[in-house]
Amino acid sequence: MPDFEYAPAPQSRDADVRASYGLFVDGEFADPVDGGSLETLNPATEEVLAKVALATAPDVDRAVRAARVAFERVWGPMPGAERAKYLFRIARILQERAREFAVLETLDNGKPIRESRDVDVPLAAAHFFYHAGWADKLEHAGLPSTRPLGVAGQVIPWNFPLLMLAWKIAPALATGNTVVLKPAETTPLTALLFAEVCQQADLPPGVVNILPGAGATGAALVGHPRVDKVAFTGSTEVGRQIARTVAGTRKKLTLELGGKAANIVFDDAPIDQAVEGVVNGIFFNQGHVCCAGSRLLVQESIAAEFDERLRRRVGQLRVGDPMDKNTDVGAVNSAEQLARIRELSDAADAEGAVRWTEPCQLPDRGFWFAPTVFTDVAPAHRIAREEVFGPVLAVLTFRTPEEAVARANNTPYGLSAGVWTEKGSRILWMADRLQAGVVWANTFNKFDPASPFGGYRESGYGREGGRHGLAAYVKEPSL
């Protein structure tokens, strides 16, 4: 437990949560064809926040048709300088309504309000600002062409609902494409609030369409014959299914999938700084991060000291009400995800890893898992091989840089890694050998709209952000 307790500092619940939400198609909210709905919960309390329309295949067809008309008649022919004005307007509205978005994101997702307020919403606005700047300069971006693809079908996950929306929609609009987006089943509310932003910004009808729904909704969108581009962020298993669906078609595809990142700490690293980076790497957003540093590789000579300092720091984390500004670790997003975290943690116990969890009082209702560290982990343990997607750290040791590289690369994933050392030459040597799309040096989980992000192998392919992310939304010269 912390050395002392802060008084509660609750964020006022001043977001306007409607009792029910419809689909957003062709610039208007509408009822689904079959009238189906789903409930979205507050994972910290299990209270029902709202009923949300459930899109089915006929709704997907309606949205794709609206997006096609908007692309052919309005958005595609529009000069880039004019498109940029809309993106700038969206970015400014996101800033103006930042508190509303942050509160709604925390209620619907379970992440601490401090993270929604200071990371998710500002970075989402930054992506729209950045891509607005590119909209009239695409001929200078070094792209294969400046011709948009057409209609983009986009499916986003529940861990960063608003931010993933921005990662997907901003480059699509900047390059002249229109969008049909499906938010995650458990976190649709900020996407539907974004639909109001599109209306407020006077975005032409059909340019952005938002269809809440379950897996069948996403499958209908991915498989629709008039979708030209598919972008997906989520699990590797679903990514494989999408790749099979798209194979043999002319659709362009980008996949940002799972990860099992190694955070590698050498004996010359600034230990306190590295401890902060390790804690941020795995416990930020309850570990619901595809690039989370879920494997800690620490050099054997400092392992005992590092473990002591790490436990001391983890013991200071505050777990509880996500709406409290003092909270560091909020609620797990769903009962299903909590069961997955427990399954892999129990497997680690059974396989001989040593569990350490700082005793803490967890709320009686909601989905909660205390920050947990496993030591004496072997590379063959499930906790070292499989993506947990929760606040669980697996600690392994190494003796030489060569062994660190071998252990870090001993995974089917290839999304991210971190290196902690004072030697610049060692950082470059490691970065050249680590099989990861992103390598952070003496930091972790740092993002910028101008920097491309993505992986390879079972972490997917394609990039989001930067000029590389724009390339995924324009035609090849031969097409």
| Through-space distance between the first and last CA atoms of the chain, rounded to whole angstroms | 60
* DSSP code per residue over 319-345: BS-TTBTT-SB---S-HHHHHHHHHHH
| Distance (Å, whole) CA 472 – CA 415 | 18
| Distance (Å, whole) CA 146 – CA 476 | 9
Q: Which of 105, 115, 185, 256 is catalytic?
A: 256
| Integer angstrom CA distances of residue 416 from 15, 109, 467 | 35, 24, 19
Is 290 designated active site?
yes
Q: Which of 290, 291, 458, 464 is catalytic?
A: 290
| Distance (Å, whole) CA 202 – CA 199 | 5
Is 198 designated active site?
no
Q: Are 286 and 391 contacting, i.e. CB atoms less than 8 angstroms apart?
A: yes
Q: What tokens does 6 get?
A: 């802060």
| Distance (Å, whole) CA 119 – CA 98 | 11
| Distance (Å, whole) CA 287 – CA 33 | 37
> Hunting for tokens 């909704």 — which residue is that?
217
Catalytic positions: 256, 290
